[in-house]
Chain A
Amino acid sequence: MGVEAIIGRCQGLLEDLDLACVSEWKAAGEGRKAIGFLPVYVPRELIHAAGALPVGILGAGEELEIVRGDACFQSYICHIPRSTVELGLRGKLDALDGALFPSTCDVIRNLSGIWQLMFPEKEAIYFDVPQNLDPQVGGVFYRGLLAEIVTRLQRVVGRDVGADDLRAAISAYNASRRLVRELYDLRAAEPWRVPTSEAYLLLRAGMRLPVEEHNELLANYLTAVRDEDRALRDNARIVITGTFCEQPSLDLIRTLEHAGCYVVDDDLMLVTRWYGPDIRTDGDPLDAIAEAWMSADDETPCRYVADGTRKGQQLVDSVRRCGAEGVIFAAPSFCDPALLDRPMLQAVLEEEGIAYTSFKYSENTAQLQPIREQAGTFADTIKLWSDA
């Protein structure tokens, strides 16, 4: 499959708000179940091991008019809970048999309760990842939580989940993370070859497809795109941060690119590339998943950084590693985690002499011209300084 066909398929999946692809997958096998999950992190391995399809619930983008979802929320709140409720009330999440709500923030936390109240027939599992990273304390709690989630998933799918099922799932997702890392490395090295709009569509496809199929798609893309003849432009290399939960629209991502930015790193779709090394496949698989979380030094605004001197360091490292020339803080409106983190991260960038600019968006931001102008000016300024 060529790049165009792969990206066309991903685009189709992104636009599949009714989750027809999930219904089709379920219909293809006896008793198949699908479990949704919200950003930022859940171990999809558990769902896969239970034979169910993990499906990302990532809002409705710019496509859906929000009517009933708006009636459920106060004025000052980000967009993702509105669109999630809208999708649910319009029957667009009917293909899901339950959902995991990670402890990302108070909004997603409360959304788990809204789901319980509105969709009582569906499973609602709150996923309270520990902030205490001591293996004997947070680790023990987390191991227990994983076991509890497996038990609940077993109830949904109506069968037992064994250690080998979990190991096979870990292997499949290790392969996925390796491919995603390869994609990100290639984009950082040759951003003209891998536009972020394409990388993003590929990752979004992973929120719908079974992991094995998605891995094949990623591998095919990585082969095909290396043969593409794509022109190198004099764009500014930037890192985007703040987009870890409510997603910017594809148009917004394209707008940044058209404004002269090569995105060389970002925090979009973090669930696809958590932790550094692979999760081990020997020993107890739940221990292995817990250890991976406890030892990962991935930083997001949803995770407590115990060592204050490390705060923001990951962003600086990303800028250096990817050869970025600046950072764009793109945060969803009314997003406490992203917006409260921002001044701390900006202070670190200032100390390091790294240029940045900031704006807010929502998944359905229609007016992209101001963002285009701001990003364009930022890119021009960066180029001016780097050429001087």
Chain B
Amino acid sequence: MKSTVIKEPSMVQQKEMIADHFQQLAEAAEHGRKVVYTFVPGNLTELMLGFDTLPVHPEINALQSGMRKLSGSYIAAAERVGHSEDVCTYVKCDIGMLLDGNVGPTGKKLPDPDLLLLSYTGCFTFMKWFELLRERYDCPVAMLHVPYQADGEATEEMIAYVARQLETEVIPKLEQVTGVAYDRDRVREHMLRSRVAEDDLVAVLEAAKHRPSPIDAYFGGVYYIGPMFTAFRGTEAAQAYYRQLRSEVDARVAAGQGPITPEGLLDEERFRIVVEGPPNWTHFREFWKMFYDEGAVVVASTYTKVGGVYDRGFRHDPDRPLESLAEYCLGCYTNLNLPSRVDMMADYVRDYAADGFLINSIKSCNSFSAGQLVMLRHIEDATGIPGGFIETDLVDPRYFSSSNVKNRLESYFQMLAQRSSGQEVESA
């Protein structure tokens, strides 16, 4: 592995976009910009941009706090004011950050919300989270109920229900808060840009079908999805970012290169892995290193689909803006039933010619984790490949046991190695 840290133009670009966004948030009050807090899954970015609002995503703040090693003290602060040890640590991390002055990742205080846009796609805890925030902020809440795809499809009735809520609940509240009238054409323009970027993102994710894979679709993937899942989808900046990223990945494919890790280019791809479940953020680098030290590359992951399943064909459709937003919300990964999730994982294992698959079960996230061990067995049956299982948390450092995770991963990779040498012997 080469030891020089490679900073590609897309990385610099994304960093600048984020810095600019936080700067705008810091100056929101000065410029009369309205701030909307909302969640990543089912985010209505194109619609929000149509009202010139600035989004804040509490989960992103929580994961950033995890990466900056602040989440432990934030969670402790939330527990001191009465939050249970048992509940979702994202919520506690956010509450703790709020109690500590709500200082964002760039060191600047985040503005209070003018609107809490509660779309609880794929998770009931979102509803509790904003009920808790509502107690602390004096602002309206727009609640968007997104039905669950319990039978593996988004029905016409579900789409109509969500679209009606956009019309009767979300848009009127955005109008009321911003004083701006809903402009369908403006939203359509943003959706047109989203489509282009979505095509490029899919090309990037699917580049992992190459051998060696030019990307890591989990650890690297969380950076790739950043702009698409947050404040930028539908902007020119996001369009440019994904165009650039795609060209970089294409160049790596042409050069037969592997993914870039924090320690440089990975030279040897030993294992191709599919991962289910979110990463751990408090030990993100260390966790990633446990993979690349073994030559394990994640070729597909479900976490990178929590904010949209573009690789399964979804695109924002400017000709039916509200219905299309409804379909988007309905289709986010954790809003899919378990059999659909099993199918997606099994497809990934096959389509990306993976050697193995791993489940990272998150202690405090029932939305993802409840039932993953059952999924594991069904994915094994469908693919004939044994799966691995580890338990960590998103942002609570108390639940990341490095030695435990490392041991489990090492044994899993060892088993895969033995399996493949066995197969080689058989086929020889």
Contact = CB atoms under 8 A, between A and B. Distances in A.
Interface of A: 71-77, 81, 101, 103, 105-107, 109-114, 116-118, 124, 126, 128, 130-132, 134, 136-138, 140-141, 144-145, 148, 301-302, 304-306, 308, 311, 331, 333-337, 339-344, 346-347, 360
Contact of B369 (A77, A111, A114): A77
B374 A336 contact: no
B150 A128 contact: yes
B338 A117 contact: yes
Name the residue in A116, A340, A344 with the highest tally of chain B Cβ atoms < 10 Å from its Cβ.
A340
A84 B86 CA distance: 21
Interface string B355-387: 000000101101101111111001000000000
A379 B372 CA distance: 42
A347 B364 CA distance: 24
A34 B150 CA distance: 21
Given A136-B168, A336-B366, A71 B373 contact: yes
B135 A74 contact: no
Nearest to B335: A109
Nearest to A142: B161
Interface of A is mostly: helix
A64 to B, nearest CB: 19
A344 B131 contact: yes
Interface in B109-145: 123-125, 127-129, 131-132, 134-135, 141, 143, 145
B145 A336 contact: no
Contacts of A138: 145, 161
Interface string B60-99: 0000000000000000000001111011100100000000
B371 A114 contact: yes
Question: Interface range on chain B: under 10, 10 to 19, 20 to 34, or 35 or more?
Answer: 35 or more
A132 B158 CA distance: 13
Given A112-B337, A141-B157, A342-B82, A74 B127 contact: no
A76 B363 contact: yes
A339 B86 CA distance: 8
A126 B158 CA distance: 13
A272 to B, nearest CB: 23
A45 B147 CA distance: 22
Given A81-B370, A110-B338, A116-B339, A137 B164 contact: yes
Contact of B125 (A106, A305, A334): A106
B373 A72 contact: yes
Contacts of B141: 306, 308
A331 B85 CA distance: 13
B370 A342 contact: no
B261 interface: no
Counting chain A CB atoms within 10 Å of each CB, which of B338, B372, B375, B391 scores highest? B338
A140 B168 contact: no
B370 A126 contact: no
Contacts of B366: 77, 105-107, 110, 334, 336
